[in-house]
Amino acid sequence: MKVITLLTDFGLKDGYVGVMKGVIWVISPQAQIVDITHQIQPQNVLEGALALGRVASFFPPWTIHVGVVDPGVGTHRRPIAAQLGEQFFVGPDNGLCTVLVEQARLEKKKIQFVHLDRPEYWLPEVSNVFHGRDIFAPAAAHLSNGKLIHEIGTPIDDPILLKIPSPEQSGSGWKGQVIIVDNFGNLSTNLTRAHLSGLDEVSVKIAGFEIHGLRKTFGDAQPGELVALIGEANDLSIVVVNGSAADRLGIGIGEAVEITSV
């Protein structure tokens, strides 16, 4: 049995997530299922792709990541599965797995996609509006049972991938942007430890504010202070200690961030 993760924009109010687990357990009774998040902003595929990229590598090898942020459900968009290094992805062909693909490429791992076009691995009745339950959950359960991706679908080589925003060089520094705002209001950027490594004492400009230097962690500054630090994904993060940087700065995803040497 393999671990199955679920990431959706369904929220937790309606039983949509629970019913996917029921469907999985009918087919793969011992599958271990874990929620990543169900609070992706509705239809925000990029947000889902980034969230999945943050966590996938921490799961056991051969974990099956089911992602359902799926504005194209029931249209001609294909349902797909992929083997991306030692991880599986199951979900819509809309770029939701883009960061996992990038990671597998960086590590020169095997990358294979299939079109989930074999109804014998779906629920008997498939709605036009809930492929998470009717196609993706059953497909993931069959993978958990040991099926190979090319047993449950037909190989394709043209999956849709998103353009993930990447930093650009700017003089001696870099321009990037906020890509995640978490539950605390902490701002994660697409600038990483690697972008910082060439710089001397760093200055961070965001939303008209300038922050000098990096702190090691929250507790090295006073409550209420706006600081920059290296976050949990080796990313430059802007936070307010015991508070919300998103609220303080009045900004969100997409906001420009620039780092320079002082």
Query: Is 21 or 175 the residue whose CB approaches a second copy more closely?
Result: 21
Helices 45-55 and 98-106: crossing angle in degrees, nearest 10, is 40
**Could you give the C-alpha distances from 138 to 22, 56, 65, 162, 261, in angstroms and in order?**
10, 20, 13, 26, 52
- From the list 44, 99, 101, the residue with the least C-alpha distance to 68 is 44
Show the binding pattern over residues 173-192: x = contacts a second copy (CB under 8 A), - = does not: -------x-xxx--------
Using rule CB under 8 A, residue 23 touches a second copy: yes
Taking the complex as a whole, how short is the minimal distance between the CB of residue 172 and a second copy, in angstroms? 26
Q: Distances in Å between the alpha carbon of 140 and those of 33, 174, 223?
A: 11, 40, 45
* Binding-site member from 146, 155, 198, 219 for a second copy (CB under 8 A): 219
Torsion sign over Cα 224, 237, 43, 85? negative
Tell whether residue 43 is a contact of a second copy (CB under 8 A). Answer: yes
- The two tokens of residue 183 are 């539950």
Contact flags string 120-139 toward a second copy, x per CB under 8 A = -------xxxx--x------
- 33 vs 143, beta carbon nearer a second copy: 33
Nearer to a second copy, 41 or 170 (CB): 41
> Shortest Cβ distance from residue 150 to a second copy (Å)?
26
> In whole angstroms, how far apart are CA 235 and each of 7, 106, 128, 151, 229?
22, 17, 39, 38, 8
Any contact of residue 224 with a second copy (CB under 8 A)?
no
**Beta-strand relationship, 187-192 and 168-170:** unpaired
Kindly tell me which of 26 and 194 has the beta carbon lying closer to a second copy.
Answer: 26
- Which string of x and - marks every residue 55-74 that binds a second copy (by CB under 8 A)? x--xxx--x-------xxxx
Q: How far is the CB of 187 from a second copy (least distance, A)?
A: 12
- We find the least distance from the C-beta atom of residue 184 to a second copy, in angstroms, to be 6
Sign of the torsion formed by the C-alpha atoms of 129, 133, 135 and 137: positive
Give the interface size with a second copy as a residue count (CB under 8 A): 63
Chain positions contacting a second copy, by CB under 8 A: 3, 5, 7, 10-19, 21-23, 25-26, 29, 32-39, 42-43, 51, 54-55, 58-60, 63, 71-75, 77, 127-130, 133, 180, 182-184, 216-220, 229-232, 234, 237, 242
